[in-house]
Structure 1
Amino acid sequence: MRLGYATGYWGKGPPPGALEAILEAERLGFESVWTAEAYGSDAFTPLAWWGSQTATVRLGTGIAQMSARTPAATAMAAMTLDHLSGGRVILGLGVSGPQVVEGWYGQPYPKPLARTREYFAIVRDILARSGPVTAPGPHYPLPYTGVDATGLGKPLRSTVHPLRADLPIYLAAEGPKNVALAAEIADGWLPFLFSPKANADAAAQLEAGFRLRDPARSAREGFEVAVQIPVVPHADVEAAADVIRPLVALYVGGMGAREANFHRNVIDRLGYAAECDRIQELYLAGHTSEAIAAVPTRLVEEIALVGPPEKIRDDLAAWEESVVTTLLVQGDVHALRAVAELLG
Structure 2
Amino acid sequence: MSVGIWTFAFDTRPIGEVVEAAREIEELGFESIWCGEYRGREAFTQAGLLLAATEKLTVATGIARFGERTPLAAAAAGRTLAEAHPGRFVLGLGGHLPGDRPLRRFTEYLDGMDNAGLISPAAPYRRVLAALGPRMLELAASRTDGAHSYFVPPEHTAIAREAVGPKGYLVVEQSVVLDPDPASARQAAREFVGQYVGMAAHHRANLRRLGFTDDDLTEVSDRLVSAIVASGEQAVHDRIRAHLDAGADHVCVQVISDGLPRAEWRVLADLV
User: What TM-score, normalized by structure 1, do the two folds share?
Assistant: 0.69
Partner of 1:177: 135
Which whole-Å CA distance do the structure 2 matches of 1:228 and 1:25 have between them?
Answer: 17
Structure with more of its chain in strand, by fraction = 2
Aligned pairs (5 A) from 1:60-99: 60-94=60-94, 96-97=95-96
Partner of 1:167: 125
Structure 2 unaligned blocks of 5 or more: 256-260
Which whole-Å CA distance do the structure 2 matches of 1:24 and 1:244 have between them?
Answer: 26
Q: Deviations over 1:131-182 (max 9, x none)?
A: xxxxxxxxxxxxxxxxxxxxxxxxxx423113x2x32100001211111221
Aligned residues: 266
CA contact (8 A) 2:66 2:93 kept: yes
Are residue 124 (structure 1) and residue 114 (structure 2) matched?
yes
Relative to structure 1, the CA distance from residue 10 to residue 253 in structure 2 (aligned partners, 3 Å threshold; closer, same or farther) is farther
Partner of 1:250: 195
Partner of 1:324: 248
Partner of 2:105: 115
Superposed CA RMSD: 2.5
- Identity value in percent: 32
Partner of 1:301: 226
Structure with more of its chain in helix, by fraction = 2
Structure whose alpha-carbon radius of gyration is higher: 1
Are residue 338 (structure 1) and residue 267 (structure 2) matched?
yes
CA contact (8 A) 1:7 1:18 kept: no
Partner of 2:202: 262
Give the Å deviation of 1:40: 4.3
Kindly provide the amino acid, as one letter, of the partner of residue 319 in structure 1. Answer: H
Structure 1 unaligned blocks of 5 or more: 102-107, 127-156, 208-219, 256-260, 279-293
User: What TM-score, normalized by structure 2, do the two folds share?
Assistant: 0.86
Which whole-Å CA distance do the structure 2 matches of 1:297 and 1:20 have between them?
Answer: 37
Partner of 1:190: 148
CA contact (8 A) 1:182 1:188 kept: yes
Relative to structure 1, the CA distance from residue 23 to residue 313 in structure 2 (aligned partners, 3 Å threshold; closer, same or farther) is same
Which whole-Å CA distance do the structure 1 matches of 2:213 and 2:13 have between them?
Answer: 34
Which whole-Å CA distance do the structure 1 matches of 2:55 and 2:147 have between them?
Answer: 25
Kindly provide the amino acid, as one letter, of the partner of residue 44 in structure 2. Answer: F
Are residue 311 (structure 1) and residue 235 (structure 2) matched?
yes
Kindly provide the amino acid, as one letter, of the partner of residue 324 in structure 1. Answer: A
Give the Å deviation of 1:200: 4.3
Match of residue 227, structure 1, among 150, 168, 172: 172
Relative to structure 1, the CA distance from residue 15 to residue 8 in structure 2 (aligned partners, 3 Å threshold; closer, same or farther) is farther
Q: Secondary structure of 1:178's partner?
A: helix
